[in-house]
Chain A
């Protein structure tokens, strides 16, 4: 049976009818065609589908679309504003924090959430915060540096 939901994604309201079992990630990818949010596993382990829901990082494969009714989502497509890269995006490019790019959106969404909670994380804190996100390409080395770059830039901007 179809369920009507209204969700704001990257500032734009979407109303749709979905099956009760539709995962939020499938809604984002299939209904909204926002394919920057990726699916890497079936067990909420890889974090490739990480987005922000009402300001907090969540794995969108672990939330049903109906649960997100009425909420505000930000996906990777909503990270840059007015054509300017978010400092996190810039950090990943400057520090070579991505190779194949598949885990990258989820990594950046998890990392921006971390910096909201902890604007100047230590390397250890960064590594712990990324526990829910797999990367198979970079060995995480440059992802850590990318997040440090973003933290530096964001702190500099707000100082």
Chain B
């Protein structure tokens, strides 16, 4: 019975947030706590000749000042968690990422010194007294330019700045042959620009050392407390893992940027013992811009071939992917296994090859940002197919329909095997596009577009995407280079009174796990949702976890919870059978009680749990207690999909693009809480639309990020967006117990190309046959496109 599953239960966690009682890392004040300020390099590439900290150290209120020289050689830096090999089999280039530099800075924001003082203001004041002597060198910021001969080197021992090269799919000659014989080839060179995740809570970390217990605690704004602990202990500081507690308390948004283990986390932990005080570091926003891992930053060239009927025959893509100056935790996975493997899209394309060159540049690190690789793949495919429709004078919706993979449920009809190493779990693609067309009123729209005569150009853009989430089967990702498993764990502790504590390794930083997970538990156990607490984010309370990213929490973390509940019910049935003097096989569990089939004899969940802890009258040989842990390792990724449609109006005089409507029909499998899923879609859409119309970093030729504040970097505000029109279809995932696929990234993956395609459509319909406008599509860029030549 589902009293809660499928219902828009209001969030249980909201009360603390709406009353100002949320507890984010920077809200935590520890006794005798000191504050850290990190002096960072103002140059992208420079030799550091000397660092003079004497004056800073002498300032009143300063506890200590440390530089790279104060970090022992044995601490090489923060590690990378994913290994990609060169095409020739060589291991990727993996230069160390030191906690603070010693002799060379490699991007603006590289850490020079940490000042620890009685207040943040004092620490910052003292940092201004530090004298650093630099020799400034030339920098390179573009991922393709970095690979060219003569480009300034980021790491002296990495030739041509190439971290690795990599390819996947069919042999190139087969793809090229198919393209050569195609009736039409659409070709596009474009940049998927770098964007900044910009969680509104800046990153923050507090390190604390307890001499009495010889134990460290790190509070940090992370999506991933246990993995942070593992990396910090085993790969950075060499601390015993059982002597380190990592807490990710309330976290104010992540979007990928808080997955990774950052240098500042190690610095505050390491120096807290040396200084003998807890140390808090909180990023200023401009510091977040310089040091939170960024997203995207691909330079691509692609060709898509079609036969005379509009059937896709081949796709070839070449991409340069920017890694930044150092490899962030999962950086190499993003342009490869989260990108190259998605090039089948929703289509039956028989020949596909994706070729990726990853390069180091004098910029901040690039890693997973909402969607991570999948938005870049979707952008490339969906831009090409919409452009092909324009070039071939075909309808973009029809062209997609013609190429869709036929429906399969993964049960009766097995999963679809792609040309790029994946097997989709279940999919039914036509209904999402049909529903979107219905919501638009497509035929009416085209008539209106043709008749438009108000000084504005009207355009429509489509994007039908697929993504791989529920990350991920450990053996599969291990074979692909992951240096960690990607299962999830859950402990379900039934208290003697029948109240339930659930310890999950997933981490909520806005996703509403405390509600969604409780809905699942309440229905499975047939108890009131108020009798359940979901606990996450603290390595002292939750034994282990792999954290939240890749839309994995419910598909993987939720499945682990279900496994533990199944164990609770199985044991509970034995106890109930004993109390009812029946066989467990003769019992039914419903509405929180076990009933002997065909009778009115029953015993409640609470009575059984109490009996398990007060086992006076108890089955022989059965252990007391009702408490189970489980680990769930998925057998496959999950594959949500959907159809996104943007309708834009462009002012002919100014080039200003106005997003008039945005329609999204997504299929994320079964839905536990529709309200929360809708919210996830909304947020993803805003970020994807933001990339299309507003956002993008600007580095100058010296490697300065010149829009590194909220005054310069344009993020969508409330009046930049319309209310969204969303709907969904439901194609359950066949391989996890809840049938769910994940909804966190969908909005961000599908939306970006839809908006760009809409602008291109508007221009073509007005006779401006431009193939591309660089994102973000500012008025200036659109006006220039309309007025070129």
Contacts and interface: CB of A to CB of B under 8 A. Distances in A.
Interface of A: 19, 21, 29, 33-43, 45-46, 48, 75-77, 79-80, 85, 89, 92-94, 96, 98-105, 108, 123-124, 126-128, 130-131, 133-144
Nearest to A36: B20
Nearest to B28: A35
B723 interface: yes
Interface stretch (B74-82, B197-205, B473-481, B587-595): B197-205
B660 to A, nearest CB: 13
A45 B8 CA distance: 33
B218 to A, nearest CB: 19
B617 interface: no
Contacts of A135: 200, 718
B311 to A, nearest CB: 36
Given A39-B202, A46-B710, A138-B679, 13 more contacts: A38-B200, A38-B252, A40-B200, A42-B709, A45-B710, A48-B200, A75-B20, A77-B20, A92-B14, A108-B18, A128-B718, A139-B687, A144-B718
Contacts of B22: 36, 101-102
A137 B97 CA distance: 30
A38 B200 CA distance: 9
Given A102-B200, A136-B683, A144-B718, A96 B18 contact: no
Given A46-B200, A131-B718, A143-B718, A99 B18 contact: no
A139 B686 contact: yes
Contacts of B26: 35, 39
A102 B252 contact: yes
A35 B27 CA distance: 6
Nearest to B201: A102
B14 A100 contact: no
B429 interface: no
B711 interface: yes
B717 A104 contact: no
Contacts of A29: 27
Interface of B: 8, 10-11, 13-24, 26-27, 29, 121, 198-202, 250-255, 284-286, 509-512, 675-676, 678-679, 682-687, 709-711, 715-719, 721, 723-724, 747
Contact of A104 (B17, B715, B747): B17
Contact of B24 (A38, A43, A99, A124): A38
Closest 9 CB pairs of A and B: A36-B20, A102-B252, A101-B17, A139-B686, A100-B510, A45-B710, A99-B510, A76-B20, A35-B27
B286 A42 contact: yes
Contacts of B253: 99-100, 102, 136-137
Given A104-B17, A123-B723, A99 B511 contact: yes
A125 to B, nearest CB: 10
Given A40-B202, A137-B253, A142-B682, A98 B18 contact: yes
Given A35-B27, A104-B18, A40 B719 contact: no
Contact of A40 (B10, B285, B510): B285
A117 B182 CA distance: 63
Contacts of A131: 717-719
A80 B19 contact: yes
Given A138-B683, A140-B686, A96 B719 contact: no
Contacts of A37: 20
A139 B682 contact: yes
Contacts of B13: 101
B718 A98 contact: no
Contacts of A141: 682, 721, 723-724
Q: Which of A136, A139, A140, A143 has the most CB of B within 10 A?
A: A139
A38 B24 CA distance: 9
B723 A100 contact: no
A96 B200 contact: no
B718 A126 contact: yes
A42 B285 contact: yes
Contacts of B511: 99
A138 B285 CA distance: 20
B195 to A, nearest CB: 12
Contacts of A38: 24, 200-201, 252
Nearest to A35: B27
A43 B200 contact: no
B389 to A, nearest CB: 28
A136 B200 contact: yes
A100 B199 contact: yes
B18 A40 contact: no
Nearest to A92: B18
A43 B285 contact: yes
A139 B10 CA distance: 19
B286 A93 contact: no
Nearest to A45: B710
Contacts of B684: 139
A145 to B, nearest CB: 8
Contacts of B678: 96, 142
B683 A137 contact: yes
A52 B789 CA distance: 53
A42 B14 CA distance: 27
Contacts of B717: 130-131, 133-134, 140
A158 B201 CA distance: 36
A43 B711 contact: yes
A146 to B, nearest CB: 10
